[in-house]
Amino acid sequence: MAKGSGIIERSLLTDDQIMEFDNLVMDGIDISGRWNTMLKSRVHSRPELDSWDEIRESFIGASIDNCIQCGMCTAGCTVAHEIPEFNPRQFIYWVRTGRQDELIKNADVIWRCVGCYICTNHCPKEVNTAEVIESIGQWLHRAVPEKMDDAFKANHETYRHQLFTYGRLSLPRLQAEFLNRTGRRQELFTAEMRKTAVKMLKDGRVMRTLFIGKPRHWSRSAMVLSHQEA
Amino acid sequence: MSTSVMVIGAGPAGLQAASTLSHLGFDVTVVEQQQYLGGAVARHQYQVLMPDFSSGPELLRHLIERVNEDPHIKIYTGTSVEDVSESRDIFSITLSGAHAETIQSHAVVLATGFDHFNPARDGKYGYGIFPDVITGAELEEMFAKGPIRRPSNGEVPQSVAFIYCVGSRDRQVGNTYCSRVCCAVSAKQSIELREQLPKARISMFYMDVRTYGLWEDSLYWRSQEEAGVVYVKGRIAEVTEQHGRPVLKGEDTLVRGPFEWPFDLIVLAAGMEPSRGTHDMAKKFQVSLESHGFIKQAHTIHNASLTDHPGVFVAGAASGPKAIEDSIAEGDVASLAVFDYLKAKVTL
Ligand SMILES: Cc1cc2nc3c(=O)[nH]c(=O)nc-3n(C[C@H](O)[C@H](O)[C@H](O)COP(=O)(O)OP(=O)(O)OC[C@H]3O[C@@H](n4cnc5c(N)ncnc54)[C@H](O)[C@@H]3O)c2cc1C
Ligand code: SF4
Ligand code: SF4
Ligand code: SF4
């Protein structure tokens, strides 16, 4: 039976507000089944603020306290206009009001920021909104890694690996590694891909991709990065 | 020799100062760069004044008649200050323009006012690109000239949006202060609009509504209760155009989520900036500016009109955004401060 099906005005509740157990015995009384339907308290009573500290102390999240909640960032945001749940202003609000429950619930929404920086460019308070959202995203990576699905994780790891190895990104390499990691290697050899490969051979892009090179003194920068990573 | 004081700028603050200084026994010269008196009130022909809906032209008539009829006040319009030197507490001021002469003054009141923020400097509002996007000052001029129509096609607007805090409270444009009057002026304008446009949808897009003090119920509440104006909390990120109508792209931060709403007419509540004349005079008379570029009040609490240069006083919007009532009050404050300063030095 659907969750909470016995509740009148069921439409006012979301699934995660409803607790229901197939088998439950309380004080020796068996209340299995519909009898034990309970609602979680809707009152938020325990602000969790360690994430706020983590974010404001991070290099990219430091400007979070500048925010005046005006909504300019969401108003111009690329993703917000596609996904109504995506709302950088509100993510900042949740951080500052200790709503880790909401942040975690919406982790996969928050991770969808495309890094276009429109928000940062518009913000009247010079919040670096794009990077604050990234900082929130990074906190979520640490807090709820299990919420990242496999494709997401593979994508993440691919970028990280490429960047740490070469100090720069190349689209063909990114795509190859991503498909490799997700076990979709055969997609590299479709007719379309082969056509592209031939074209790239001819115009020389293949060479640039194979011998991508590294920035000057990359090993030193890499050391700093892996140090931060640790 | 009688004691003479120069007032620079003939807006509400300067006109009030001139009249009061004359009552106190000084000879006054008013120097105004424009050909007309009355400052912003005259320039934009404010018809109905915030907060009490009194008449703008009547206020001007009152202020101007008093100085015109006063034999101790000389009015120099179309005149600017060219050069200033100071010796033994007497300013020697060389004028250019209609009255090119040099005048000795014992004290100076700077009442050089403000300039409107030019919204073309902030590309996101489409000002100067879309004809139906106008400023609050331009709306005042529309009220003065005739019925409200859409500049693009002359039609009666069915929907009007006010965008608050344009050029104020925004680090991107460099103005981090609140302009203080635009919330209340916009509320006043919405009430006036309602009389002309009984059916139009009128919406205010705000970050905070700052109709402080006694203006809360008389303007903010009244605009909602009597004029049916809607307040939407959120800043506008972009104005675009669709089917010949401006479209506001914003976030309604209360219900959360972005919107794109078309309106027939957009009014930008453009803020106040220190006028160019204010900067010029600050330099020539060697007074400091505060961090936002207005003239610095040396003792804000003690006396609003003192600058950090003895003998130079300030009144009105030259020392920060303020309403007409405060500007006029400061005209009096500066006059008394001049009196206080000069009575120790000169026997009247
Ligand atoms: C759209 C809008 C509507 C408003 N409506 C209202 C309202 O309804 N009620 C209200 O209380 N307030 C209103 N205000 C605020 C009001 O305009 C100001 O409070 C008032 O004009 C300030 O008076 P002032 O004399 O200090 O300066 P101003 O009015 O700016 O006058 C300054 C004068 O000095 C002259 N000047 C400047 N530099 C020099 C120079 N170097 N040499 C010679 N002359 C110089 C200028 O030409 C000008 O005439 C409104 C403001 C805006 C932006
Ligand atoms: S635009 Fe800046 S100040 Fe406004 S809500 Fe977004 S981050 Fe906060
Ligand atoms: S950087 Fe992210 S949050 Fe900012 S506007 Fe782009 S998608 Fe939205
Ligand atoms: S008075 Fe209102 S509209 Fe004007 S700057 Fe202040 S808050 Fe913004």
Contacting A residues, span 46-105, partner chain B, CB-CB under 8 Å: 68-77, 80-81, 84, 87, 89-90
- B171·A70 Cβ contact <8 A: no
Contacts of A69 in chain B (CB under 8 A): 253
Percent over 90 (pLDDT), chain A: 56
Q: How far does the CA of residue A38 sit from the closest CA of chain B (Å)? A: 27
Residue B348 belongs to a domain? no
The pLDDT value given to residue A230: 53
Q: Same domain for B261 and B280?
A: no
Q: What are phi and psi of B342, to 5 degrees?
A: -85, -25
Q: Which of B271, B296, B317 is the last residue of a domain?
A: B271
The pLDDT value given to residue A89: 96
The pLDDT value given to residue A5: 85
DSSP letter, residue B119: G
**Which regions in chain B score pLDDT beneath 70?**
1, 344-348
**Alpha helices, DSSP H, located in B233-309:** 276-284
Q: Same domain for B86 and B221?
A: no
**Alpha helices, DSSP H, located in chain B:** 12-23, 39-43, 56-68, 136-145, 182-196, 215, 222-225, 276-284, 324-343
Q: Same domain for B263 and B124?
A: yes
The pLDDT value given to residue B220: 96
The pLDDT value given to residue B49: 97
A93 in Cβ contact with A142 (< 8 Å): no
Q: Same domain for B8 and B94?
A: yes
Residue B347 belongs to a domain? no
Cross-chain CB nearest to A75 (options B169, B170, B250):
B250
B335 in Cβ contact with B194 (< 8 Å): no
Number of CB atoms found within 10 A of residue B97's CB: 15
Average pLDDT over residues A191-204: 90
Residue B252 belongs to a domain? yes
User: A74 pLDDT band (50/70/90 cuts)?
Assistant: very high
CB-facing half-sphere around the CA of A89: CA atoms within 13 A = 28
Q: Same domain for B232 and B122?
A: yes
- Which tops the pLDDT comparison, A36 or B154? B154
Mutate to test the interface with B, among A63, A68, A72, A118 (most CBs of B within 10 A): A72
- The first and second tokens of residue A144, run together, are 């709820």
Residue B185 belongs to a domain? yes
Instruction: Kindly report the CATH number assigned to the domain that includes residue B196.
Output: 3.50.50.60
Residue B170 belongs to a domain? yes
Ligand in nearest proximity to the CA of B171: 2
The pLDDT value given to residue A228: 66
Residue B52 belongs to a domain? yes
Q: Which range (A34-38, A111-115, B135-139, B338-342) has the least confidence?
A: A34-38
Q: Same domain for B336 and B227?
A: no
Q: Same domain for B156 and B287?
A: no
Q: Which of B250, B271, B292 is the last residue of a domain?
A: B271
Q: Same domain for B66 and B85?
A: yes
B320 in Cβ contact with B294 (< 8 Å): yes
Q: Same domain for B259 and B281?
A: no
Q: Same domain for B11 and B26?
A: yes
The pLDDT value given to residue B333: 98
Residue type, B331: G
Domains assigned to chain A:
10-39 (no CATH), 50-147 (1.10.1060.10), 150-214 (no CATH)
Please tell me if residue A116 touches chain B, with a CB cutoff of 8 Å. Answer: no
Q: Same domain for B216 and B165?
A: yes
Is the ipTM of this structure higher than 0.85? Answer: no
**Can you tell me whether residue B191 is helix, strand or coil?**
helix
Q: How far does the CA of residue B176 sit from the closest CA of chain A (Å)? A: 8
Radius of gyration of the CA atoms of chain B, in A: 22
Cα B284 to Cα B96: distance, rounded to the nearest angstrom: 14
Range of the domain at B150: 117-271
- The first and second tokens of residue B147, run together, are 């019925």
B48 in Cβ contact with B192 (< 8 Å): yes
Q: Same domain for B121 and B259?
A: yes
Cα B229 to Cα B241: distance, rounded to the nearest angstrom: 23
Burial class (CB in 10 A: 0-12, 13-18, 19+), B2: exposed
Q: Which of B227, B248, B271 is the last residue of a domain?
A: B271
Residue B336 belongs to a domain? yes
The pLDDT value given to residue B347: 53
The pLDDT value given to residue A8: 87
Residue type, A36: N
Q: Tell which residue, B337, B334, B335, B333, has the closest CA to residue B26.
A: B335
B293-305 burial, b if ≥16 CB within 10 A, otherwise e?
bbbbbbeeeeebb
Mean pLDDT is highest, among A172-176, A202-206, A215-219, B301-305, for B301-305
Cross-chain CB nearest to A75 (options B169, B171, B237):
B237
The sign of the CA dihedral B330, B335, B336, B340 is positive
**Tokens 């424009």 found at:** B34
- The first and second tokens of residue B302, run together, are 């003690």
The pLDDT value given to residue A44: 83
Residue B200 belongs to a domain? yes
Q: Tell which residue, B257, B159, B255, B137, has the closest CA to residue B204.
A: B159
Q: Number of folded domains in chain B?
A: 2
pLDDT at A45 over 90: no
